[in-house]
Amino acid sequence: MTESTVKTVPPVASPPVVVARGLTKTYDTGDSKVHALAGVDVEFHRGAFTAIMGPSGSGKSTLMHCLAGLDVATSGSVHLGRTEITGLRDAELTLLRRDRIGFIFQSFNLLPMLTAEQNILLPSQIARRAVDKERFEHIVDVVGLRDRLHHLPAKLSGGQQQRVAVARALLNAPEVVYADEPTGNLDSRSGSEVLAFLRGSARDLHQTIVMVTHDPVAASYADRVVFLRDGRLVDEVLEPTAELVSARLLKLEEV
């Protein structure tokens, strides 16, 4: 599929939560320039679970980092709600990430000396933010951590640790959650638990989720998969299945 035939998402009433326009990122490595992002236009709507896929080096991590305000784009714009995050100062970006964005990483990033409950509550405490007790209880039940709340991470399985990280990312109902290979360190059963929960939180809590993954099965839990190649968005699949995603990836890697 060529750029000009890329399908667009069906029109939705609410404005998108995240909008990127003409996003570029160029690395100057001395004698050559690497165009990690070569003009990306993309949007993410409330309650949508989107996977970003593409061959190694296609720009997935760079795109996610620019969308999340973890990296600065060379040109173009990113809006989160009404805020244009491209152009914010470091201190403003730090607050924006803390208050409006959730993060889930491959490596869980839990503090080993804190219990599961303390880990989930930590970002709210650091931000001096009141915790919505009802939401906390709901999330703990949905991720199935009720009887593990007072355990240290070392006493939890990988899947349970990642569910703690997911609960932590979702507690504050951030406008968007960015997940970077969230199941990369999990066996397939724990991985599918985490993915099912992410999908459920998009459907039931209207959580907006953007996930980078290499795994077609993981991507099949999303509502939509967008494909990058050489820093450009070149394809999109709605209601993906693992088979469909694998086939599209193969096609991209052939070119």
- List the single partner that 36 binds among ligand ATP, Mg ion, none, CB under 5 to 8 Å by kind: ligand ATP
Please list the residues that pair with 51 across neighbouring strands. 211, 225
Whichever of 12 and 34 has its CB closer to ligand ATP, that residue is 34
Spatial CB neighbours of 63, under 8 Å, sequence gap ≥ 6: 20, 23, 37, 40, 42, 52, 228
Q: Is 8 exposed, middle or buried (0-12, 13-18, 19+ CB in 10 A)?
A: exposed
Whichever of 51 and 116 has its CB closer to Mg ion, that residue is 51
> What residues line the site for ligand ATP (CB under 6 A)?
27, 29, 34, 36, 54, 56-62
Whichever of 2 and 29 has its CB closer to ligand ATP, that residue is 29
CB of 150 to Mg ion, least distance (A): 35
C-alpha span between 83 and 18 (Å, rounded): 10
CB of 181 to Mg ion, least distance (A): 8
Q: Is 199 exposed, middle or buried (0-12, 13-18, 19+ CB in 10 A)?
A: middle
Whichever of 197 and 227 has its CB closer to ligand ATP, that residue is 227
- List the single partner that 127 binds among ligand ATP, Mg ion, none, CB under 5 to 8 Å by kind: none
Spatial CB neighbours of 133, under 8 Å, sequence gap ≥ 6: none
x-or-dash pattern for Mg ion, window 50-89, by CB under 5 A? -----------x----------------------------
Provide the CB-side half-sphere exposure for 216 (13 A, CA).
13
CB of 72 to ligand ATP, least distance (A): 12
3-state secondary structure of 228: strand
**Residues binding Mg ion: number (CB under 5 A):** 1
66's tokens = 């620019």
Q: Give the footprint of Mg ion on this chain (CB under 5 A).
A: 61
